[in-house]
Amino acid sequence: MIGQLVWSAAVALALLLSGGAVGRHVEHGDDDGPSADLDTGAVRVVLAPDAAAAAGGRWFLDSSTTPHISGATVDKLAVGTHIVRFRAVAGYTAPADQAVVVREERTTTVTGTYRAATATGSVRVTLAPAAAITAGARWLLDASPTAHASGEAVAGLAAGTHTIKFVAVTGYTSPASQTVTVSANQTTAVTGLYVAIAATTGAVRVTIGPAAAVTAGAKWVLDGSPTLHASGDTVSNLMSSAHTIRFTAVAGYTTPASQTATVAAGATAAVTGTYSVVTASTGSVRVTLSPAAAVTAGAKWLLDAATAQYASGATVANLPAGAHTIRFSAVAGYTTPANQTVTVAAGATTAVTGTYVAVAASTGSIRVTVAPAAATAGARWLLDSSATPHLSGETVASLAVGTHTIRFSAVAGYTTPANQTVTVAAGATTAVTGTYVAVAPSTGSVKVTLAPAAAVTAGAKWLLDASATPHVSGETVASLAVGTHTVSFVAATGYTTPASQTVTVAAGATTAVTGTYTVVTPSAGSVKVTLAPAAAVTAGAKWLLDASTTQYASGVTVAGLAAGTHTVKFVAVAGYATPANATVTVTAGGTASATGTYTALISFATTIRPVAAANCSCHGSTMADYATLISSGRVVKGNTAASSYVSRTSMQSYWGAFRQTVLDWISQGANP
């Protein structure tokens, strides 16, 4: 993947700088024979050295996977730019991909030179456990963003130290980064162990039987919640503790007794509630408890000597006709109702009411709400020195009057609220809010959409800041520093390139940018300027158009220009004579070409003086003294005819074949 990205960037940059002609190639004319198809050409590739070709060197064209041997020719290729790629050969560094221009009825020859490879090593990283790999565990090498799978080896690494990092996986603690030493011709093995984060909650699943009771409307409820659940439902994210399962009354059935289920972290507790059909020789008892606060506080009722506890409103069926005793559970803060003896008649339901009387409170409660909602999934609160975690909205009762401390658990991605000291009053519930603050992201993203679609097909791309990596339309570049960034655009044939845009990236946000290419209309044309020699280009040679201050690189085409004459100017480069301005004529729909050739400045000290000193023994001191030549008028800068140093008849024979160099030196301004 890294190689492909580097190749793509290198080819794109090379095409941009050279106007489409990249790589060393030789064009042949009709000597290679006419092509069978018009508008097509051929490519021939020679591999060097012969030892690399013999060792397995092969070449590929464009995206084809067909290997070709050294000297092979591929013909019937569409006219335009093609990419030559090279296969890796053990003991050699493969040549870089080359972009070649295929011309109609011609064969372009390319040379790919393999170089003996320096000794390198490899790293193979194994990740564990398998569940973490399934969940997305990957590893990274040094500063590369490429994620590698478990067991994957990365070769061609320079001998020395390298850093292994690990991708975060939900539900696991990532291994710490490791520094490993890579030795030449060896593979260094590394292991990255992810540790599962222990679950803090569990679940309850309740099954109701028989099916007829379910059809008749049997449901179940959890703890004090009024929510009705169907048979087979699972309630998740429950605290690891005891929970009470109650069942709704169904006509014609005896309601199952409430059950206590113990929920363990990471596990699902299974509960079964079985309804029994009421027979005609039995009756039922329904008990209603009051007040509602006592019911909320845990009031229950019991029947005869049984230990099963029933919630308010529950009906117990299939009771033998006759006398039965109703008892009531104790509830903190309330006086328990006295036992009641009731008579159950066959086929009838006896209604009973149990009234709890509130005892003057000597304790109070605390209810804590956690915000925002996004943090509640993992946020918990703790009271005083207790290690018991509580959910948001949970109330802890029967607390001694006085001050208590609320603490909060840490949640990834949020700043933990500070501890709070609250005062509990008798008979009252103190409400507390713990607010988690999301940790603001420090980076953002940029997404650029290019239009129209035809321009994208024609090769439109975009670049970010000083990077040479081209991006396609709709691509998003993430992890960008907050602040301003520059989006520029790659030229597409037949379209005017959008102007560069400065965008502001905000933390945690994606900045959307649109780059619209416009079709070059027939009323406009283009100018393409090539600069030479390559050394001048490397030294900073650029060109300008008309009165614009925008500097363009060699091979760049400026489109959308009005038909008519335009002036091409050239940027001065140290050590070179600047080409004279050139006037070009732009025609509608056409591209005018111009060439600007920089001439290396001739130096008196390094070029003229050594020859003058060697050729003239009689007055070499004056012939080789720059200051004397200028002050005496023997050399007039820029005027060869007025410079006796070279124009006199005797001096013409004196300089011989070197005279032209002296003439060029004076014409350039007699550079010291």
Over residues 496-519, the mean pLDDT reads 93
pLDDT at 280: 59
Please report which confidence band the pLDDT of residue 110 belongs to, taking 50, 70 and 90 as the band edges.
Answer: very high
Say whether pLDDT at 78 is over 90: yes
Residue 265 CB neighbour total at 10 angstroms: 12
Q: Is 508 strand, coil or helix?
A: coil
Cis peptide before 533 (omega within 30 of 0): yes
pLDDT at 80: 93
646 vs 291: which has the higher pLDDT: 291
- Residues with Cβ within 8 Å of residue 631, at least 6 apart in sequence: none
pLDDT at 33: 43
Q: For residue range 586-606, list pLDDT tens digits in order.
A: 998 889 999 999 988 888 888
117 vs 356: which has the higher pLDDT: 356
Spatial strand order of the sheet with 234-239 comes to 234-239, 201-209, 268-274
pLDDT at 567: 96
Start-to-end CA span in the chain (Å): 53
Percentage, residues of the chain above pLDDT 70: 93
Size of the chain in residues: 672
Residue closest to 528 by CA, chosen among 556, 549, 492: 556
Parallel/antiparallel/unpaired status of strands 599-600 and 25-28: unpaired
Residue closest to 123 by CA, chosen among 191, 193, 192, 188: 188
554-to-328, 409, 495, 520, 539 alpha-carbon distances in Å: 96, 62, 19, 21, 12
Please give the structure tokens belonging to residue 635: 């050399």
Q: Do residues 443 and 480 make contact, with C-beta atoms less than 8 angstroms apart? A: yes
Q: Is 491 strand, coil or helix?
A: coil
Say whether pLDDT at 360 is over 80: no
Over residues 426-443, the mean pLDDT reads 87
Say whether pLDDT at 256 is over 50: yes
Say whether pLDDT at 654 is over 90: no
Please give the mean pLDDT across all residues of the chain.
87
Please give the structure tokens belonging to residue 521: 């209309």
Q: For residue range 513-570, list pLDDT tens digits in order.
A: 999 999 876 678 899 999 999 988 998 999 999 999 999 999 999 998 988 999 999 9
Alpha-carbon dihedral sign for residues 612, 617, 623, 625: positive
H/E run at residue 243: strand 242-247
Over residues 118-134, the mean pLDDT reads 90
Q: Do residues 128 and 191 make contact, with C-beta atoms less than 8 angstroms apart? A: yes
Say whether pLDDT at 107 is over 50: yes
Question: CA 572, CA 576: separation in Å to the nearest integer?
Answer: 8
Q: Do residues 195 and 156 make contact, with C-beta atoms less than 8 angstroms apart? A: no
Say whether pLDDT at 20 is over 60: no
Say what the pTM is. 0.25
pLDDT at 518: 92
Please report which confidence band the pLDDT of residue 262 belongs to, taking 50, 70 and 90 as the band edges.
Answer: very high
Helix, strand, coil shares, percent, the chain, to 5: 15, 45, 40
- In this structure, what are the phi and psi dihedrals at residue 554, rounded to the nearest 5 degrees? -60, 135
